[in-house]
Structure 1
Amino acid sequence: MRLKGVIDVQSLLELPYLRTISLMNNDFDTEWPDINKIVGLKTLFLSNNNFSGEIPAQAFQGMQWLKKIHLSNNQFTGPIPTSLASMPRLMELRLEGNQFTGPIPNFQHAFKSFSVANNQLEGEIPASLHNMPPSSFSGNEGVCGAPLSACSSPKKKSTASIVAAAVLVIVALIVIGAVILLVLHQRRKQAGLEVSAENPSSIMFQSQQKEASSSDEGSRGSPTSSSHRSRSLRLLFVRDDREKFDYNELFRASAKMLGSGCFSSSYKVALLDGPEMVVKRFKQMNNVGREEFDEHMRRIGRLNHPNLLPLVAYYYRKVEKLLVTDFVHNGSLAVRLHGYQALGQESLDWASRLKIVKGIAKGIEHLYKEMPSLIAAHGHLKSSNVLLSESLEPILTDYGLGPVINQDLAPEIMVIYKSPEYVQHGRITKKTDVWSLGILILEILTGKFPANLLQGKGSELSLANWVHSVVPQEWTREVFDKDMDGTNNSEGEMVKLLKIALACCEGDVDKRWDLKEAVERIHEVNEEEVKSSLSPWMVN
């Protein structure tokens, strides 16, 4: 099309679900645009244009979802941006046919497709790129090392340079030795979590066992050593209606990883003589001391409601905590909403989605009734933290953990910190969980995953903004999940629930409904339209 001019990134931000930008084979001749503002981007194709100038070192910082970058055959100068080396999902990087200078960044992983050919680069090729074909580096006279010819050394060296080289070699050997020890240490730790049919694994790390052994050896001869060891290796049960088992049984049990994130890792554990359980391993729970942690776990253990997953037991160590709960076979709401086709299941119909929303509201209501001292009684409400029973009754999990999570890391972890009031004003209120509830209802009704929870930078691209961008007359056709069956004679009730969700997502926290009103409105929604069901707040 031979487009030219400036790429208006600000306008592209109005497209919350933009995942690919492809402007190849045009005549754009500007400097580098601020693409990193579009944090949800997965592919970027700008090859065969006339872009020029240096790309800032941090141009790709925060773009953790980017997988493919094609910038070949432009006129970029300066060093290759160092932020490219820290992108965890990057699989394709094409930079050939530019004027990049300096060394190739030390990329930490291999690529499916990579080329920096025909630039002005120099220096040794990083080890992680040795398996790339020689053509990926051709046309750079100063580049050497595998897969090209070895880097040459000067024939004559001064005594000072020899000494300097020797020092560098010694330092390098020390660093390499430390890295090898670290890798071996990590592998030993991970060995306790590897699962296979022939050798059932333990959910505990070997380092944990070592630490316990070291503690035992160090405390021998102490009159209190036996009781100390007993307490440190003890599972503490907070419920009396479950079959009890000890730490060693848990340690010996076979385990299957269910999921892992920055907050926790989850394992399904099959006890030798007992039920299947779920063990969640947390490392970011050092905000309070042992006694306060024990008391908070007892408070959570006293909660009893059909829409809350009960805490059964916990294990305390200073460096990590284990929380033990029942295993729910039907999986999470997130998987049911977004992965039902891969599982060979049918999409949730309107009646099921309404049932799930009402159950979630009941669970949240009970949390606030029983834990009134907490500002955000759940704090981490999202579809992956809602499990589903066989009858599609929702069961909330990961609730009430706000007080024990490390406060310096909580904003990077918990959903409430993506709310407008925290993003804009740095505060959490009793209505923040209501915002999370509203976003979750929108996800249930639209079938779309909330982009703001992916990017980790707040609520600018929330589902609420997207719904507001569609005129109300088009909601039925454009907003609701097209795979949602059972909507005959229910469109009015669906719109009613959609408006409830938007009221819960109100950006002005003072205008947002409180939980009591939100729950009352949710329970007023029916499966089918009732002529007299319209409330005054429904009329715009």
Structure 2
Amino acid sequence: MAVPAAPWLLLPFLLLAPSLAAAAVSEADALIAFKSTLSGAGAGASAALANWVPGTSPCSGNRTLWRGVLCDEGGRVLGLQLENMSLSGALTLDPLVDLPALRTLSFKNNSFAGPIPDLAKLGALKMIYLSRNRFSGPIADELFDKMRSLRKVHLSHNAFSGPIPSSVAGLSELGLDDNAFEGAIPDLEQKGLTFVNLSHNQLEGPIPKGLSRFNASMFEGNKNLCGRPLDVSCDITQSQSPRSPAKKKISPTLLVVIIVIGVLALLSIVGLFVFILSSRRRRQLDEANLVHLQSAETKKFDAPEANKVDRGAAEYRGGAAKKAHKEDHGKLSFVREGSQSFGIEDLLRASAEVLGSGNFGSSYKATLFDGPSVVVKRFREMNGVGREDFQEHMRRLGRLSHPNLLPLVAYLYRKEEKLLITDYIPNGSLAHMLHGNRGSNLPPLDWPARLKVIKGVARGLAYLYEELPMLTVPHGHLKSSNVLLDDSFEPILTDYALLPVMNRSHASQVMVAFKSPECAQHGKPSKKSDIWSFGILILEILTGKFPANYLRQGNAGTDLASWVNSVVREEWTGEVFDTAMKGTKNGEGEMLKLLQIGLGCCEADVERRWELGVVLNKIEELRERESDGENSSFDGEGGYSSKGMTEDDFSFSTNN
């Protein structure tokens, strides 16, 4: 029988409850007040933000209840992402001052007009996205001076004018392209600057030396800019400025000479054009011969039953890729600083090897002549956004940098398909090591190696959640075939953050996040769908079982966790662990802890599913060997015996 708590023990909680309720109401009221300042075409903000209802809360933990609101784990408003809502009028930020945890603002692709709002009132902001609106006028030089936490400012495609404010110094990202900024570029030589785009403005003068490391396209469209990386000498620019002396009249003799030179130049151009056409025909014949010689390309394992080898892979070289010569958008765009530059022609001439064919498209290994090996992935179902939004998202991915992420090197945009270029990782995928080397001479992964893989995947996933807070599922397709292993068996995540550019209907059929239990209930993934995918991956690594075998006809809500729960509950043995796993001596207790973590990630109830921060901390605490005093044994033949340990000591709470 429960003993009633003494009234004086409840006093602190009774005093604290009103303040907590007031804080929640205050944030909701602040957002309702902000909504009242918005207007737009048609029904305007009332329709776009219809679920912003007084008396309700915008957040439940880190779960978003109001459209466009990002929440932190404490249930506070972390950001506003009101994009593509046809909002218009002046943007007033005064009501948002009452949101102490606000760190991100994104109002992209609306019709806000007038001067830039007073962002300094929100001094704790870290990221500001106001691109593709109708803002105009100059920006005060000191606007960002007091915003010490500010890292990213994107004001592209507006009508801002005047000089670039010097207070942008210190940012890591700055997008000011397609405006009317004028004058000289301020000193932006800070080492932390990873992205800058000042193209298509009215800037003039030399480009600061510290910006010469960026691509020339970031400065094009400014007639009077000079210096590296532009191929324009500052001496030439100054000589062509409006301040130059008036031109002298051309004499008739000089005019005749100019005409003769022009005719000769025209004849030379015609001859060069004929030469280029003949060379192109010869090159196409060479490529056709090369395709014939390479028709028996090598095939590699990717993942059993999920990814099968594409037997028609030669079409990449002999068919689809040739079209790149005939299109305006047949040029590779590089997003990683310092990467070796090459063209689509270099890929066509490279020796090719088929790696496999997955749900998105085919993958090829291309070994460049006198260069590195790269992986080319073809995506046919990647038309979720237009060309400009696609390019912006690829640049965002190119700026990601973490030891457990495979960096994007370059991409090719074409209407019917996209190519993504990454580095080649020789050891292949985790799926191959777990399922594809049975009966081969390759040794199976031992317990220390599997624990190392899980820790690396957790760190990479946590980095994606930190850098891409605007995405519902920052990875979206986490599975063993998308975890590569380097020479030291360090895991490297690939195919991450692609959901924003995928066709939604195709993504819902094939992406792992859409197999989560919440998709079976509500038809869409949640912020914790990646955590569910990670839990399934943990169970796959521990059990050696392939998850696709436990999905009933590919439906969401039925998974490997159900099988693990049934075995443990009914038999309470080590049958769940992969018998091929070696190096388990004195590590059985840690394996059980990891099994519990995996099941905690697979909770069917999203509210009860573990937070990523909790998962990461618990995984980091795991060791290859259990501490002294823990006494359990795993016989390697499917039998587990616990001494002094009961099922209550190791609770399972999944409801799959």
Class of the TM-score when normalised by the shorter of the 2 chains: 0.5 to 0.7
Compare 292-301 and 418-427 and name the one that shifted more: 418-427
Give the secondary-structure state (helix, strand or coil) at the position aligned to 1:395: strand
Q: Deviations over 1:164-208 (max 9, x none)?
A: xxxxxxxxxxxxxxxxxxxxxxxx9x969963479x967345255
Q: Which amino acid aligns with 1:301?
A: G
In the alignment, which residue of structure 2 is the partner of 1:251? Answer: 348
1:203 equivalent among 281, 291, 316: 316
Deviation track 1:447-485 (CA, whole Å, cap 9, x = no partner) reads 000136765533454110001102359555211001111
Question: What is the match of residue 268 of structure 1?
Answer: 365
Measured in 1, the distance between the counterparts of 2:533 and 2:378 equals 24
> Within 1, Cα distance between the matches of 2:597 and 2:546?
19
Say whether the 8 Å CA contact 1:193–1:204 is kept in structure 2.
Answer: no
* CA drift at 1:242: 1.6
Choose the corresponding residue for 1:382, options 479, 494, 512.
Answer: 479
| SS of 1:203 mapped into structure 2 | helix
User: Shift of residue 210 of structure 1?
Assistant: 4.6
After superposition, residues 277-356 of structure 1 pair within 5 angstroms as 277-356=374-453
Give distance in 2, aligned partners of 1:438 and 1:490: 20
Report if aligned partners of 2:473, 2:527 keep a CA contact under 8 Å in 1.
yes
Q: What is residue 11 of structure 1 aligned with on the other side?
A: none
Q: Which has the larger radius of gyration?
A: 2
TM-score (norm 2): 0.48
Letter matched to residue 427 of structure 1: K
Shift of 1:445: 0.1
- The 1:267–1:482 alpha-carbon spacing in structure 2 relative to 1, beyond 3 Å, is same
1:457 to 1:539, Cα distance in 2 relative to 1, 3 A: closer
1:410 matched to 2:500? The reply is: no
Partners of 1:492 and 1:402 in 2: CA distance? 37
1:393 is displaced (CA, Å) by: 0.4
Query: Which amino acid letter does the alignment assign opposite residue 306 of structure 1?
Result: P
Which consecutive unaligned segments of at least 5 residues does structure 2 have?
Answer: 1-287, 299-312, 632-647, 652-656
Checking the alignment, whether the CA contact within 8 Å between 1:418 and 1:456 is kept in structure 2 is no
Runs of 4+ in 1 over 4 A off after TM superposition: 190-194, 452-456, 472-476, 531-534
Matched residue, 2:259: none
Q: Is the 8 A contact 1:328 1:387 kept in 2?
A: yes
Relative to 1, partners in 2 of residues 1:408 and 1:539: Cα closer, same or farther, differing over 3 Å? closer
Give matches, 1:24-423, under 5 Å.
195-196=295-296, 203-210=316-323, 212-213=325-326, 229=328, 232-423=329-520
Which residue of 2 is the match for residue 512 of structure 1?
Answer: 609
CA separation of 1:364/1:453 partners in 2, compared to 1, >3 Å: closer, same or farther?
Answer: farther
User: What is the CA–CA distance in structure 2 between the aligned matches of 1:247 and 1:442, rounded to whole Å?
Assistant: 41
- Classify 1:526/1:472 alpha carbon distance in 2 versus 1 (closer, same or farther; 3 Å): farther
SS at match of 1:365: helix
Cα deviation for residue 334 of structure 1 reads 0.2
Q: In structure 2, what is the Cα distance between the partners aligned to 1:262 and 1:539?
A: 37
Change (3 A) 1:406 1:205: farther
CA gap of 1:252–1:458, structure 2 versus 1, over 3 A, is same
8 Å Cα contact 2:353-2:366 kept in structure 1: yes
Could you tell me how far 1:383 is from its partner in structure 2?
0.3
Mapped contact 2:515–2:557 kept (Cα < 8 A)? no
Match of 1:150 in 2: none
Among the aligned pairs, what percent are the same residue?
Answer: 54
Measure, in 2, the Cα distance between the counterparts of 1:456 and 1:240.
44
Cα RMSD of the aligned pairs, angstroms, is 2.7
The higher-RCO structure (CA 8 Å, 6+ apart) is 1
User: Once structures 1 and 2 are overlaid, which stretch shifts more, 447-456 or 310-319?
Assistant: 447-456
Deviates more, 1:425-434 or 1:340-349: 340-349
Matching residue's letter, 2:319? Q
The number of aligned residues is 333
